[in-house]
């Protein structure tokens, strides 16, 4: 098959994807008032949660598998291009400040590299060899989990990365917004959030991007809950890096322990701005060093450290 014939076939396949279709309901949007157009987009966006809800069993299965790898010392890598890749970059970047994770634990690999984080780098998403090479550069192995993201489900860079990661023994997940995606076939776990046509035909930064963000929120947050980085619904592993976060930390400590503000502030300072350490100190009446020891014995889980009681 000639290169031009192959290109025409690829174009035809792309045109058949639901996310590429022009929805007749939105054919006259350029004639709408700003308010009516905002309502139209809002109504379209309101369909996304239902589309995500329809695949929650698939999402949960993938998260359990990812969390298991992380609990055993593995790493999580997101792989994407364009909007999907930038969504992944944002989600990965929030893990260290929210959960005090090592920056190497959760990272995003974007087609086109750093230059693509702020804008399009043409052609990079079609480079399958670069996708596979990215997995080699990250030394992806059996302990790791790789989540590939592509609204179309057919991005060569992402599919090649997922295939290479799977060949290396890593857990692989494919997140797309079309049914029967090639990415789903490449991955061990498939998540297909069928959001349908976009308000602006083919602009997958809209409903597709929103759906991907929803699922990424679940993957990172629930994995961290499973790793013991949340107590109740408090982000007790967050980094205290400014006055707003310090106030939040004191509020968390007070609500968990019932301590007065002054006692909570003193404990937080004595704990080196570590919320979990401060809570153990106050709840068990122990110094910071012993609180840290109890947390270490409980594998960082605040509930386990508190369950030990006073020694």
CA proximity to 138, closest of 92, 175, 193: 92
Contacts of 97 (CB under 8 A, 6+ apart): 238, 239, 241
Provide the token pair at 301: 């889980």
Structure tokens belonging to residue 37 = 């157009």
Q: How far apart are the first and last CA of the chain?
A: 74
What is the CB neighbour count within 10 angstroms for residue 238?
21
Known active-site residue 125: yes
Cα–Cα–Cα angle for 176, 177, 179, rounded to 5 degrees: 90
Taking the C-alpha atoms of residue 171 and residue 195, their distance in angstroms, rounded to an integer, is: 26
- Residue the block writes with tokens 């639901």: 18
User: Of the listed 3, 6, 117, 125, which one is catalytic?
Assistant: 125
Q: Which of 142, 217, 146, 230 is nearest to 183 (CA)?
A: 146
Q: Record the tokens describing residue 108, joined without a space.
A: 């995003």
21 SS3 class: coil
For residue 280 the two structure tokens come to: 């153990």
Told to judge if 283 belongs to the known catalytic residues of this protein, a careful annotator would answer: no
Catalytic member of 20, 94, 290, 293:
94
- Residues noted as catalytic: 94, 125
């Amino acid at each position: 098959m000639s290169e031009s014939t192959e290109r025409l076939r690829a174009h035809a396949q792309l045109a058949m994807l639901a996310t590429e279709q022009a929805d007749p309901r939105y054919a006259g949007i350029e004639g709408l008032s700003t308010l009516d157009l905002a309502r139209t987009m809002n109504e379209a966006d309101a369909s996304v949660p239902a589309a995500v809800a329809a695949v929650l069993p698939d999402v949960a299965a993938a998260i359990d598998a990812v969390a298991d790898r992380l609990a055993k010392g593995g790493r999580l890598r997101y792989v994407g291009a364009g909007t999907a890749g930038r969504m992944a970059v944002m989600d990965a970047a929030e893990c260290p400040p929210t959960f005090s994770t090592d920056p190497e634990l959760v990272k995003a690999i974007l087609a086109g590299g750093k230059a693509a984080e702020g804008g399009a780098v043409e052609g990079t998403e079609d480079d399958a060899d670069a996708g596979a090479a990215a997995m080699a550069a990250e030394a992806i192995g059996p302990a790791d989990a790789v989540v590939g993201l592509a609204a179309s489900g057919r991005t060569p860079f992402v599919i090649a990365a997922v295939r290479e990661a799977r060949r290396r023994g890593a857990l692989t997940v494919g997140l797309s917004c079309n049914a029967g995606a090639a990415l789903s076939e490449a991955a061990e776990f498939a998540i297909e959030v069928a959001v349908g046509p976009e308000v602006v035909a083919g602009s997958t930064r809209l409903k597709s991007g929103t759906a991907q963000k929803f699922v990424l929120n679940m993957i990172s947050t629930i994995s961290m809950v499973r790793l013991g980085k949340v107590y109740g619904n408090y982000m007790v592993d967050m980094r205290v890096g400014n006055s707003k976060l310090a106030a939040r930390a004191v509020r968390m400590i007070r609500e968990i322990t019932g301590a007065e503000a002054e006692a909570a502030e003193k404990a937080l300072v004595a704990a080196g701005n570590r919320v979990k350490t401060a809570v153990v100190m106050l709840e068990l009446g122990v110094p910071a060093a012993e609180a840290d020891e109890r947390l270490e014995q409980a594998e960082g889980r605040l509930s386990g450290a508190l369950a030990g009681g006073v020694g």
